[in-house]
Amino acid sequence: MDELGLFGGQEAVLARIVQMEKILLHCGVGGPKRAFNIFHSDLTYLQKYFDIGMGNSDVQQRLNHHTAHKVKKLFAIFKQMKADDHAIVFVKRRFTAKIMYKIVSKAAKVDPKLQHIKCDFVVGYNVSNPLKDTR
């Protein structure tokens, strides 16, 4: 929340819900499936809480009013860039890279000053932990 803001938090919750859905497909019956269902319910509640917190505003307003200061600074840097400039943004966590990709992609679609931004993300791959799979 501190790094990405309320808008980023909502994007993160949605990404975790999708991740839980993928894990639930391979989960058997019993304790683990019940635990994932409870976690899924909590994430759905949290997503609704974020949605209420941001009110009935469009994506542009949500980006302007409900993103963290760091993200706004990044957008300011992107707005100063020319169409042929390139940039690499490093983050600490794989999941943060995915969420930043979603935030910047949405911002590029709705903000005319960011329409020149084409983004993607690359992370290392770790097979041992399915929760670290960012795809």
Confidence class for position 94, pLDDT limits 50, 70, 90: confident
The pair of three-digit structure tokens given for residue 40, joined into one six-digit string:
């899924």
pTM of the full structure: 0.81
What pLDDT does 132 receive?
58
Compute the average pLDDT of residues 54-66: 88
**Pick from 63, 66, 68, 52: which is nearest to 114 by CA?**
63
Which residues make Cβ contacts (< 8 Å) with residue 37, sequence separation at least 6? 24
How far apart, in whole angstroms, are the C-alpha atoms of residue 133 and residue 135? 6
Segments in the chain forming alpha helices (H) = 5-25, 31-54, 59-65, 69-80, 94-110
Give the dihedral of Cα atoms 121, 126, 129, 133; nearest 10 deg. Answer: 20
- Per DSSP, 127 falls in state T
